[in-house]
A = this chain, B = another copy of it.
Amino acid sequence: MSENFDLNDKKFMEEAVKLAFKAFRSGDVPVGAVVVKEGEIIGRGFNKKELTSDASAHAEMLALQEAAKYLGDWRLNSCALYSTTEPCIMCSGAILHFRISEIVFGVREPKFGGVLSNVNLFDLDTLNHRVKYRYGLKSELITRLMKDFFRKIRDS
């Protein structure tokens, strides 16, 4: 799906990509995410599953937690989340719980994606909260980063 992205979208996704590189360097699948409120980044995260031995330490989860801590409130209604890859089932559930308004992600996650690749959690009729989503931003760069990571793992 081709979407229109503006300069702000690009700026925030660039920040997410930088965070993904941090995960890459520490030996985790390279995913990065930021939470944005009124043009300001208030939460950052990169995948730390191996680094912290915590299977829930995904980029999106950590960015959401940091944003809520910053605001002192778990309600992130007016916030957007930018993530290099499609949030997984767990993180899509967290995005709903934190009441994020909108997400933008780079590439789909065929195995565990919770937005449209595996289950469509944001389209469930039973849930009151609605999350808008767009994707495809910086997808070539992110795809290359992921491929480089898995090649490195395979060859090591």
Contact = CB atoms under 8 A, between A and B. Distances in A.
A56 B75 CA distance: 11
Contact of A92 (B56, B65, B89, B97): B89
Contact of A111 (B98, B99, B126): B126
Interface string A112-137: 10100011010010110000000000
Contact of A90 (B55, B71, B93): B93
Chain A: interface size category: 35 or more
A144 B55 CA distance: 33
A18 interface: no
A118 B111 contact: no
Contacts of A69: 53-54
Contacts of A126: 111, 118
A68 interface: yes
A61 interface: yes
Contact of A53 (B73, B88, B91): B73
A42 interface: no
A124 B121 CA distance: 13
A89 B98 contact: no
Given A90-B97, A96-B89, A119-B121, A56 B64 contact: yes
